[in-house]
Structure 1
Amino acid sequence: MIIDSLPNAAKYYGLHPNFKKAFEYVAQNDIANLEEGAYEIGEGLKLIVIVGEGSTREESIKGFECHDKNIDIQISIIGPETFAWKPREKCINPNGDYSEERDVRFFHDKPDMFFEIKEKQFTILFPEDVHSAMIASGLLKKIVIKVKI
């Protein structure tokens, strides 16, 4: 897991071939005014704009998840947004089977920690990062970029 601010995004270009493309798309487009929905922004890159009311920690961790085939870059546009997190190696209580179609695996485990990102900050969540999001007491707008591994 990585937490940082958009001006520092270039530091992470070397971690995956598509990170540079993803962050350049964010820098070159008016992401604050993108309509809610999903956009293909390049081969192996899908951008999803989410707008919604935040939820409680208890509600959010019902969707405690990780992915096998994608890395999430989650960027706050209207926040702050709190995330729950735990390393996958410590999760022992699966909540159903892995969904190949949705690339998601859920867990009943409790998070090890919570962290917050503010507007123009991001987190990069790798397959080993079990997480849930959208924890807030107001309206959130965010971008999730799915980076195919």
Structure 2
Amino acid sequence: MIIDTLSNAEKYFCVHPQFKKAFEYVNSQKLDTIEPGRYEIDTDLLKAIVSDKPGMTIEESVAKFECHDKHIDIQLCINGTEKIGWKPRKNCLQQKGEYNPEKDVLFFNDAPDMFFQLTNNQFAIFFPGDVHAPMIGDGAIKKMVIKVKI
């Protein structure tokens, strides 16, 4: 997992071949006015999902404690304050159901080891080894999730 601000995004271009294009896309958008929805950035390699909705309780989010096998998530908080739970996948012992290959998601009943907070123009990058519970907050949270195909 990586946590940082958009102003430092260039430091992570070397981590994955698609990260440069992903952050160039983010920086080319008017984030304050971008509408919620799904956006194709590069065919099957990069997609963006923008949401603007009320935050969830910890219990609601942890009920969908998730990770992915085929994608890396770049989760950018555009506006608001978002709390996110995290735990290393290797330490999760309570798998919840089976992996869904169509949605590229696997859920766990484990509790997060830690919580951290993102606010305007801060992002977290979740790799397949990162189980995460996002969208925890009291107010509205506008965010962009970029799905980077591995």
Q: TM-score under structure 1 normalisation?
A: 0.98
Q: What corresponds to 1:26 in structure 2?
A: 26
Q: Which has the higher helix share?
A: 1
* Deviating 4+ runs (over 6 angstroms): none
Q: What corresponds to 1:11 in structure 2?
A: 11
TM-superposed CA distance for 1:33, in Å, is 1.3
**Separation in structure 2 between the aligned mates of residue 129 and residue 26 of structure 1, nearest angstrom:** 22
Task: Please list, as runs of the form range in 1=range in 2, the aligned pairs for 1:1-149 lying within 5 A after superposition.
Answer: 1-43=1-43, 44-149=45-150
Output one character per residue of 1:35-72: Cα deviation in whole Å (capped at 9) or x when no partner: 11101011300000011111111111001000000000
Gaps in structure 2 of 5+ consecutive residues: none
**Number of residue-to-residue matches in the alignment:** 149
Secondary structure of 2:98's counterpart equals: coil
TM-superposed CA distance for 1:31, in Å, is 2.1
**Separation in structure 2 between the aligned mates of residue 63 and residue 108 of structure 1, nearest angstrom:** 8
Alignment RMSD = 0.7
TM-superposed CA distance for 1:32, in Å, is 2.2
Q: TM-score under structure 2 normalisation?
A: 0.98
**Separation in structure 2 between the aligned mates of residue 100 and residue 38 of structure 1, nearest angstrom:** 19
**Separation in structure 1 between the aligned mates of residue 18 and residue 51 of structure 2, nearest angstrom:** 21
**Separation in structure 2 between the aligned mates of residue 140 and residue 117 of structure 1, nearest angstrom:** 10
Secondary structure of 2:63's counterpart equals: helix
TM-superposed CA distance for 1:115, in Å, is 0.4
